Amino acid sequence: MADADQLSWRERQVVDALFELGKASVREIREALPQPPAYSTVRALLAKLERKGLARHEQEGARYLYSPAVPARDARSSALSRLVRVFFEGSAARAVSGLVDENASTLSDAELEEIAAAIERARRRRGDVG
């Protein structure tokens, strides 16, 4: 899989659209983009993303349908790693704290319990809690 840091902003937008749409034609992907470029530009971007291992296509009749070439879990992990590295100086604690603080008024009790459970699992994996 290509390093997400190596993607142009437009390539990143196309990848985001692919994950949102799942499987889509060039026209559908183009329509999902902000300030959509020309149809031929989207086709060229998709070809480039295929060469980078981030997109794939299958033929359905006369058209190609594109989809992400990597599982959402892998893409999510890569994006989170980049986010933590770039915006939180590599600190997962700062990232989690920032997200919790930023969303404090909208987090449900169930979401707070999910966060607490994730912290507890991390402690167990480290061996801090018996």
12 and 61, same domain (yes or no): yes
> Cα separation of 74 and 98, whole Å?
23
Report the pLDDT value the prediction gives residue 30, as an integer from 0 to 100: 97
Q: Which residues form the domain of 63? A: 4-68
4 pLDDT band (50/70/90 cuts)?
A: low
Number of domains in the chain: 2
Contact by Cβ (8 Å): 10, 50:
no
Nearest in space to 55 (alpha carbons), one of 80, 19, 85, 5: 19
Q: How high is the pLDDT of residue 7?
A: 83
pLDDT, position 60: 93
Distance between CA atoms of residues 89 and 36, nearest Å: 33
Query: Does a structural domain hold residue 74?
Result: no
The secondary element (H helix, E strand) that includes residue 125 is: helix 109-126
51 with 92, same domain: the answer is no
Q: Could you tell me the CATH number of the domain that includes residue 37?
A: 1.10.10.10
Amino acid sitting at position 75:
A
Co-location of 9 and 37 in the same domain: yes
pLDDT tens figures, 26-83: 999 999 999 999 999 999 999 999 999 999 999 999 999 999 998 888 877 887 888 8
